[in-house]
């Protein structure tokens, strides 16, 4: 973590082509937060991947042993969760987006509870489960209902949600030094954001950042929307922290970390996604700047509505000179991503500034004017 406040912050972003069951390239207790969405066991699009990791999985599926395949798929994920526990520092979080699976095997339709199986595996790995989030995914499917339509005893509830599991390594994260406490204050979020983000139901995360990569790559990797990792990173990390995604896919988590002035490490086994990851990281400064502008604009609207309603606001933010609800928001400051460059294969460096690009351009113009004879 970068503890020292500065006008400019640099973050690093590593992309590792490897199986996340062995993350020996990452040192113990160096990661602040894991944000990921693994391959979902018993979803058919992932059968081939799981079978390549353990051929017995394919054999179980071919012999219609659904629960045997389910257990073996999760055993492959268990290896990753143990590695995540090792690399997280005490007080660090793991946020896992996972959906349960519904599938017919040998004529039997069944629910396979991935989220419950992962919670138990994480608990065995040493994690402390915390209250989770239900992500209600929007759908435009006209015929989304399963089973016998309007006839009793043969229809099934349609699954339109996923779980965002929240787990922590040990007790609360400690902030001992003055620098750590200051960094925590500067990484605060707005009161009204807290009220939405820490709700146990998220209704719609589509929109911001969907242009990070091409639609085909998103569909192939089942990528989650940019807003999901972005929001989790704001909730559980400080600027300068390191975020890990052991199933990087198209690079959305790394892009969200870059947009948030956090460093990132991502592991991805599929080399076909390298181009999508590169595109996501290069697009992240623009996407992150738009997200910061949207947050500031939303807060200004929130303040205006409260003032028009005659509701008092007692505090004032030092950086932006606008009202805020609580004293914890007084030092809140958003760092703008101003650029990213590739240093070497799989390694990127991003630059973040206290000033938005428009402010920087204005200041540079003032300096140029002063420097003229």
- Report the phi/psi class of residue 209: left, alpha or beta, with left for phi > 0 and alpha for psi in -120 to 50: left
Q: What value does the mean pLDDT take over residues 178-195?
A: 96
pLDDT digits (tens, 9 = 90+) for 84-131: 999 999 999 999 999 999 999 999 999 999 999 999 999 999 999 999
| 8 A C-beta contact, residue 245 and residue 264 | yes
Angle between helix 252-259 and helix 227-236 axes, rounded to 10 deg: 50
Q: CA-based diameter of the chain, in Å?
A: 87
Reported confidence tier of residue 144, pLDDT bands at 50, 70, 90 = low
Helix extents (H) in 128-171: none
| 8 A C-beta contact, residue 24 and residue 82 | no
Q: Which pLDDT value is given to residue 371?
A: 42
Reported confidence tier of residue 137, pLDDT bands at 50, 70, 90 = confident
Q: Is residue 368 over pLDDT 60?
A: no
Q: Which residues pair with 31 in a beta bridge?
A: 88
Looking at domain 8-371, its CATH class is alpha beta
Poorest-confidence range of 36-45, 53-62, 193-202, 216-225? Answer: 216-225
Mean pLDDT of the chain: 90
In terms of Cβ atoms closer than 10 Å to its own Cβ (0-12, 13-18, 19+), residue 144 is exposed
Q: Is residue 24 over pLDDT 70?
A: yes
Residue for token pair 């929001």? 231
Q: What value does the mean pLDDT take over residues 157-176?
A: 94
Question: What residue ranges do the domains of the chain occupy?
Answer: 8-371
| 8 A C-beta contact, residue 347 and residue 366 | no
| 8 A C-beta contact, residue 363 and residue 355 | yes
Q: Which pLDDT value is given to residue 132?
A: 98
User: Pairing mode, if any, of strands 31-36 and 88-98?
Assistant: parallel
pLDDT digits (tens, 9 = 90+) for 75-85: 999 999 999 99
Quick one: which of 109, 215, 102, 105 has its CA closest to 160? 102
Q: Which pLDDT value is given to residue 372?
A: 35
pLDDT digits (tens, 9 = 90+) for 255-306: 999 999 999 999 999 999 999 999 999 999 999 999 999 999 999 999 999 9
| 8 A C-beta contact, residue 221 and residue 248 | no
CA distance 324 to 326: 6
């Amino acid at each position: 973590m970068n503890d020292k406040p500065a006008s400019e912050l640099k973050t690093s972003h590593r992309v590792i082509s490897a199986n996340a069951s062995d993350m020996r390239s990452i040192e113990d207790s160096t990661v602040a937060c894991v944000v990921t969405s693994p391959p979902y066991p018993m979803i058919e699009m992932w059968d081939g991947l799981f079978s390549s990791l353990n051929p017995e999985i394919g054999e179980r599926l071919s012999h219609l042993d659904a629960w045997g395949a389910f257990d073996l798929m999760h055993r492959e994920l268990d290896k990753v969760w143990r590695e995540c526990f090792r690399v997280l520092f005490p007080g660090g979080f793991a946020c896992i987006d996972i959906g349960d699976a519904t599938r017919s095997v040998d004529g039997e339709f069944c629910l396979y509870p991935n989220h419950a199986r992962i919670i138990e595996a994480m608990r065995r790995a040493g994690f402390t489960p915390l209250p989770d989030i239900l992500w209600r995914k929007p759908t435009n499917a006209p015929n989304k209902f399963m089973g016998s339509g309007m006839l009793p005893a043969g229809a099934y509830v349609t699954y339109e949600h996923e779980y965002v599991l929240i787990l922590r390594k040990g007790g609360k994260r400690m902030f001992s030094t003055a620098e750590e406490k200051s960094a925590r204050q500067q990484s605060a979020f707005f009161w009204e954001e807290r009220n939405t983000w820490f709700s146990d139901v998220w209704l719609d995360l589509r929109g911001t950042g969907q242009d990070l990569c091409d639609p085909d790559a998103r569909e192939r990797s089942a990528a989650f929307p940019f807003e999901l990792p972005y929001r989790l990173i704001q909730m559980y990390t400080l600027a300068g922290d390191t975020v890990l995604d052991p199933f990087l896919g198209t690079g959305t988590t790394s892009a969200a970390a870059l947009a948030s002035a956090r460093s990132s490490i991502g592991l991805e086994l599929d080399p076909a996604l390298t181009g999508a990851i590169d595109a996501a990281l290069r697009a992240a400064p623009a996407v992150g700047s738009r997200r910061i502008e949207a947050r500031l604009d939303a807060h200004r609207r929130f303040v205006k509505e409260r003032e028009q309603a005659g509701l008092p606001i007692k505090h004032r933010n030092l950086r932006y000179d606008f009202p805020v609800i609580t004293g914890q928001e007084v030092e809140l400051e958003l760092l703008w991503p101003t650029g990213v460059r590739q240093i070497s294969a799989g390694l990127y460096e991003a630059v973040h500034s206290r000033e938005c690009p428009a402010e920087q351009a204005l200041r540079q113009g003032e300096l140029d004017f002063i420097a003229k004879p």
